[in-house]
Amino acid sequence: MNVIWTVLKKECVDNIRDRRTILSSFSLALLGPLAFVAMMTFVLNKALGESDTTVEFTLAGADHAPGLVAYLEGQNTEIEQIDLEPGQDPRVLVTSGAHDLLLVVPEDFAERFENGRSNALALIYDSSELGSAQRRARRVDSLVSTYSRTIGLMRLQLRGVDPSIAQPVSTRTVDVASPAERALMVLTTLPYLILLVAFMGGFYLAIDTTAGEREHGSLEPLLTQPVARSQLVLGKIGATAVFALASLCVFLIAFYFSVPFVPLERIGMSLDVDIVAVLMMLGVMLPLVWFAAALLTVAASFAKSYKEAQTYLSFLILVPTLPVIVAQVSGVEASLPLMMVPSLSQSLLVQDLITSEPITLIEVLISAVSTGVLALGLTWLAILLYRRERILI
Amino acid sequence: MISVRGINKHFGEVRAVSDVSFEARDNRVTALLGPNGAGKSTTLRVLSGVLRPDSGTATINGFNVVESPLEVRRSIGVMPHDSGIYTRLTARENIRYFGELQGMTRSRLDERIESLLDHLDMRSFADRRTEGFSQGQKVKVALARALINDPKHVLLDEPTNGLDVMATRSLREIILGLKAAGCCVLFSSHIMQEVANLCDDVVIIAGGSVQFEGSLEGLREKAQTADLEDAFIALAGLEQTT
């Protein structure tokens, strides 16, 4: 036991001093929750923003079309009214940057309108500019179209014509995804992220303690020490697990503090991720942490150099996400047989914990035991690998 | 006392050592002398227990290296070919790590580290991380690490590789000190002069098998030349190839 502790302590100290390890172990854990909040906020704003936010634009020549202006003002808009100088090119107002979205009502609007002739309004913006002008232009365009259609239909009706004659074919777009559902889609990425964090946390340590030690020639002196190789291996896997666990904790803490920043209340949803749920996530993930550490250590033990190990592990790190992707594509729900699959069971449980669905003790137990057994098997395999003399050659 | 009897070891098709036998006695410095690729490292690795011989036996202090690896390793200090120290740890931490692995008590370990730092003249760089150490400093760290448990048997694989004159001289004094303390020192080398300055007995190994075993005097007699380098070349059968 003392030997395991000695090895574990040394590998941790050694790697804490390596900027590369720290960066790779903790960057995803810290940035993941931030990216999550940003993504959720973006999706929610996109889902809600189009009808909810006030559209700001500039209107020139309001006097010529009081009816249109009254309609527009009633549609959650904020209109800045200006008058054009005689002969002034309205485009200059946009290119000069004075206004970013300008609707121009022509002088003869009222006269043409009275006579039932078509009127063209200019909607001027610069699509090369960053900003929301283009999006707002679409809103203004659709408002004007709606106004135009309404007037047109009224005119037909006044002349005793069935308005539908002017619209032989029409489509009706129905997006059934409510803002809540779109937000939920983002939520489902969280379990992936947690899996990746656990694996990334141990990534460099698994390499440094095995292939790295081999490459630097420090493995041979280590193996000549009067200690059982199984203890060396357990210390190394332990150190990898410590880093994976630390990375997971950093992630969960960052996640816990960033959830309140997601504007979920705007769609009437709430994400009750309290401290108990976070601790339960950690508990559910614990067996997977050891599994990840053992799996990475086994894979890295086959490599002779840092680079070779990095290549193997970059592929390997995708493996735990495969069952999760398959499950999501085929749309399975948490069930007892699925709890036997490492990574999948944890991701399903974590997802239930995030969305406050109930999880049962038996699910947690099956997940923990099956993942734990596999982790033990991998640990045993790592020990066998280290008992071969090939580990040195 | 180290005793090797009829050791064979091959890697795939390559026969690294065949039927190697020799003895290295206590209170003496024994050199394993041979050209590159002669099988010196393989022999030392069999003794330190990281390689298992295909046949033959090797005993250190009476313990068989295959059957009682832990007892053997407790009584040896090994410095492999590559110093293999941890570059992100300080010299002192490198040494301490191995002492802790050996299960030494804290107070004994502290005491031992202090005495090694003085003995090997390492004070000036003891608490610096070993990244960027000179070859001589690295060898000292690796040597201190190998000697942490005060071993009766010391195996050194080409310890003078890459050392300058002063570092070589200081290493020579350390090795003589170990001999004076009653150790059985076995070191490998491919440089005859170095061996002549230091060792009592010499084992010449070439092509994986032992060509000569005995004292320096015996070597001169057998090769019928006063020049040790000529004797080495003659006995190692190097003349045909050069």
Mean pLDDT over B126-152 rounds to: 93
Cβ neighbours of residue B99 under 8 Å, at least 6 residues apart?
Answer: B109, B112, B113, B148, B149
More confident residue, A179 or B176: B176
pLDDT at A279 over 60: yes
From the list A190, A283, A202, A280, the residue with the least C-alpha distance to A247 is A202
Q: Between residues 98 and 127 of chain A, which touch chain B (CB distance below 8 Å)? A: none
Please, what is the average pLDDT of chain B?
90
Poorest-confidence range of A86-90, A128-132, A142-146?
A128-132
Q: Residue A389 is nearest to which of B50, B70, B74, comparing CB atoms?
A: B50
- Judging contacts by C-beta atoms under 8 Å, the chain B residues touching residue A10 are 86, 89, 93, 97
Taking the CA of residue A20 as centre, how many other CA atoms within 13 Å lie in the half-sphere pointing to its CB?
9
Q: Residue B78 is nearest to which of A13, A224, A393, comparing CB atoms?
A: A224
- Judging contacts by C-beta atoms under 8 Å, the chain A residues touching residue B101 are 3, 6-7, 222, 225-227
- Judging contacts by C-beta atoms under 8 Å, the chain A residues touching residue B71 are 226
Return the residue of A nearest to B73 by Cα.
Answer: A226
pLDDT at B242: 42
Mean pLDDT over B128-142 rounds to: 93
Contact A182, A346 (CB under 8 A): no
Mean pLDDT over B35-41 rounds to: 87
Percent of chain B whose predicted confidence (pLDDT) is above 70? 98
More confident residue, A174 or A149: A149
Confidence of residue B76 (pLDDT cuts 50, 70, 90): very high
pLDDT at A289 over 90: yes
Specify burial of residue A186 (Cβ count, 10 A radius: 0-12, 13-18, 19+). Answer: middle
CA distance A385 to chain B (A): 13
Structure-token pair, residue B180: 């004076």
Residue at token pair 């010529």 = A64
Separation CA B216–CA B204 (nearest Å): 11
Separation CA A51–CA A122 (nearest Å): 23
Instruction: Answer yes or no: do A2 and B103 touch at CB < 8 A.
Output: yes
pLDDT digits (tens, 9 = 90+) for A329-352: 777 776 788 888 888 899 889 888
Neighbours of A203 (CB within 10 A): 27
Percent of chain B whose predicted confidence (pLDDT) is above 90? 60
Instruction: Answer yes or no: do A14 and B78 touch at CB < 8 A.
Output: no
Q: Among A224, A232, A305, A392, which would you mutate to test the B interface (most chain B Cβ atoms within 10 Å of its Cβ)?
A: A224
Backbone φ/ψ region at A217: left (φ over 0), alpha (ψ -120 to 50), beta: left
Question: Which run of H or E residues covers position A377?
Answer: helix A361-387
pLDDT at B240 over 60: no
Specify burial of residue A208 (Cβ count, 10 A radius: 0-12, 13-18, 19+). Answer: buried
Mean pLDDT over A74-78 rounds to: 83
Separation CA A372–CA A269 (nearest Å): 36
pLDDT at A251 over 70: yes
pLDDT at B79 over 80: yes
| DSSP-derived pairing of the beta strands B201-206 and B209-215 | antiparallel
From the list B104, B127, B147, the residue with the least C-alpha distance to A6 is B104
From the list B19, B95, B64, the residue with the least C-alpha distance to A10 is B95
Instruction: Answer yes or no: do A225 and B146 touch at CB < 8 A.
Output: no
Rg (CA), chain A: 31
pLDDT at A299: 94
- Judging contacts by C-beta atoms under 8 Å, the chain B residues touching residue A18 are 88
- Judging contacts by C-beta atoms under 8 Å, the chain A residues touching residue B86 are 10, 14, 216, 218
More confident residue, B86 or A273: B86
Domains of chain B: 2-87+154-241 (3.40.50.300)
From the list A18, A3, A5, the residue with the least C-alpha distance to A212 is A18
- Judging contacts by C-beta atoms under 8 Å, the chain B residues touching residue A392 are 45, 50-51
In total, chain B counts a number of residues equal to 242
pLDDT at A35: 86
Query: Which residues on adjacent β-strands are paired with residue B179?
Result: none
Q: Residue B97 is nearest to which of A10, A220, A393, comparing CB atoms?
A: A10
Confidence of residue A365 (pLDDT cuts 50, 70, 90): very high
From the list A205, A295, A189, A191, the residue with the least C-alpha distance to A25 is A205
Contact B141, B85 (CB under 8 A): yes
Instruction: Answer yes or no: do A227 and B98 touch at CB < 8 A.
Output: no
Percent of chain A whose predicted confidence (pLDDT) is above 70? 93
Confidence of residue B15 (pLDDT cuts 50, 70, 90): confident
Mean pLDDT over B27-48 rounds to: 91
Separation CA A292–CA B17 (nearest Å): 41
Structure-token pair, residue A56: 């700001």
pLDDT at A177: 59
CA distance B176 to chain A (A): 23
B84 touches A at CB < 8 Å: yes
Map chain B to HEC letters.
Answer: CEEEEEEEEEECCEEEEEEEEEEECCCEEEEEECCCCCCHHHHHHHHCCCCCCCEEEEEECCEECCCCHHHHHHCEEEECCCCCCCCCCEHHHHHHHHHHHCCCCHHHHHHHHHHHHHHCCCHHHCCCECCCCCHHHHHHHHHHHHCCCCCCEEEEECCCCCCCHHHHHHHHHHHHHHHHCCCEEEEEECCHHHHHHHCCEEEEEECCEEEEEEEHHHHHHHHCCCCHHHHHHHHCCCCCCC
The most confident of the ranges A62-66, A100-104, A230-234 is: A230-234
B127 touches A at CB < 8 Å: no
Separation CA A202–CA A296 (nearest Å): 8
Neighbours of B153 (CB within 10 A): 22
Q: Give how far Cα B58 sits from Cα of A171, B2, B28, B149, B156, Å.
A: 90, 8, 18, 22, 17
Mean pLDDT over A357-371 rounds to: 91
b/e map B86-120, b = 16+ CB within 10 Å = bbbbbbbbbbbbbbbbbebeeeebeebbeebbeeb
pLDDT at A91 over 90: no
pLDDT digits (tens, 9 = 90+) for B62-73: 999 999 999 999
Look up residue A60 and give its DSSP letter: E
Q: Residue A220 is nearest to which of B11, B50, B98, comparing CB atoms?
A: B50
pLDDT at A3 over 50: yes
The one-letter amino acid code at B130 reads T
Mean pLDDT over A350-375 rounds to: 90
Mean pLDDT over A76-87 rounds to: 84
pLDDT at B65: 93
Confidence of residue A175 (pLDDT cuts 50, 70, 90): low
pLDDT at A61: 87
Instruction: Answer yes or no: do B97 and A6 touch at CB < 8 A.
Output: yes
Please, what is the average pLDDT of chain A?
86
ipTM at complex level: 0.91
Confidence of residue A1 (pLDDT cuts 50, 70, 90): low
pLDDT digits (tens, 9 = 90+) for B172-225: 999 999 999 999 999 999 888 888 888 999 999 988 889 889 988 888 888 777
Residue at token pair 């003895």 = B23
pLDDT at A185 over 80: no
